[in-house]
Amino acid sequence: MSTTRRLFAPLALVLASVAGAGCTTPIGRGGKDTRSFSERVSETLQATLNTSYHDPRAAEKMAEAEELFAQEKYAEARSALGALADNKYNPGQMVEKARFLEAECCRMEKKLPEAVATYNKYLRDHVGGVYSRQAADRMFAIAESWRKHIMPEDTQEVKQASWIPNFTDSTRPRLDFNGELVRCYEHIAEGAPHADCADKAMFWAAYLHYASGAYEDADHFFSTLAEQFPDSPLQAEAVKYAIDAKARAAGGPWYDGKQSAEAQALLNKLEASQPEYRRDEGKKEWLTKQKLAVRDGQAERDFETAEYYRRSGKYGSAFFYYELVKRRYPGTRWSDLAGVRVDEMKRIQAKQDADRAAGKVSTLESVRQGIDKLFNNTPPPEGVPIDPTIRKPTRPQPVPVIPVQGVNDGR
């Protein structure tokens, strides 16, 4: 192609677009476009180079798109509405309505994954918008239809969807069915917390995380539900699962005491706000077991802290934590083990004091003193030996959770 042709090709494309726009966009009488040539060139250039531009025909295009929607020509309406919603120079109310109607077109065409994505885009761009409750309800209805494929009726079992890509059913996600379902519930809970279905969406997002072993994510959503929706009928069940998820989370109570403290606070809140946990024997027994499990985890964490200090040669800190376990958690196995450790260390210290008074120095202590002198190390406190034994922590077994009841409404 010559240089002249390369230079004039874009101009020819623009002129063709302008001519086409004049033929397909009737404004004046007789189906003629009353705009000047320069106005048509300006609009075409802006629409070609940028999706956002000042469109003097925005209101007319919106009316045409709504007419197509009313005539159930959803494919054509969706294309027109999407262009209007993407143009940020259009009035805000028009952009909001266009985006919602675009999602409605996808839903009416049975393209449910695209509909969910468009509804979610609406919730992100228009927080608390006019159609936010309707968008959340539409998304929740779609998510519930998907959930039936992996959760049979009247059961809490969650099945893993097939990993084979879906290329035939437009009503279901193409890839990662379980992940798309969870994200749909999450988008509802986070994008429309004021909607009537927000607490149910948050519960199912948490439960699906829980069933897949993602206990930290499950704990986040269960705890958020318990805190932000105190009047929800799912609040009590959310607290139960939140407590269990904290116990099952990676790390265990010896790794981070924050989860144990949060579990204890949830138990106290549940006991104070739900009178049946003080009257019903079954629920009272469950609550007692959970309290004992949390207390046992906290005791184990403090005991492991004492063990760490003992192995590190910080014997003063080790004595402090052993005594803390004995006084704070009496009656537990960790209190008994701490007492054994303290008595053992005291006996060894008394024997070494007696040997030192008699002028006896053990071989281990002589070697240690020589190494400290050679490397100029600060020796540990006298009379306390270094115990090389290392106890491997064992993960606590969580208390089984009471099965969920009364949360399968709307299936």
User: Domain map of the chain by residue range?
Assistant: 18-49, 249-402
End-to-end CA distance of the chain: 63
143 half-sphere exposure, CB direction, 13 A CA radius: 32
3-state helix, strand, coil in the chain (%, to 5): 65, 0, 35
State residue 364's pLDDT score.
63
Distance CA 204, CA 141 (A): 13
Which parts of 109-173 fold into alpha helices (H)? 112-125, 132-147
Nearest to 99 by CA among 61, 134, 125: 125
State residue 237's pLDDT score.
84
Contact (Cβ atoms closer than 8 angstroms) between residue 297 and residue 260:
yes
State residue 29's pLDDT score.
43
State residue 165's pLDDT score.
76
- One pLDDT digit (tens) per residue for the chain, 411 residues: 444 444 444 444 444 444 444 443 444 444 455 556 666 676 666 656 556 667 788 889 999 999 999 999 999 999 999 999 988 888 889 999 999 999 999 999 999 999 999 999 999 999 888 999 999 999 999 999 998 888 777 666 676 766 677 778 788 888 888 889 999 999 999 888 898 899 999 999 999 998 888 888 888 899 889 888 888 888 888 888 888 888 777 555 556 666 667 777 777 777 777 777 677 777 777 777 777 777 777 788 888 888 888 888 787 888 888 888 888 888 888 888 888 888 888 887 787 777 777 777 666 666 666 666 666 655 545 444 444 444 444 555 555 555 555 555 544
Distance CA 190, CA 136 (A): 10
Nearest to 197 by CA among 167, 29, 401, 205: 205
Task: Give the CA distances from residue 146 to residues 26, 86, 164, in Å, rounded to whole numbers and listed in that order.
Answer: 45, 29, 16
DSSP structure string for 320-382: HHHHHHHHHSTTSHHHHHHHHHHHHHHHHHHHHHHHHHTT---HHHHHHHHHHHHHTPPPPPT
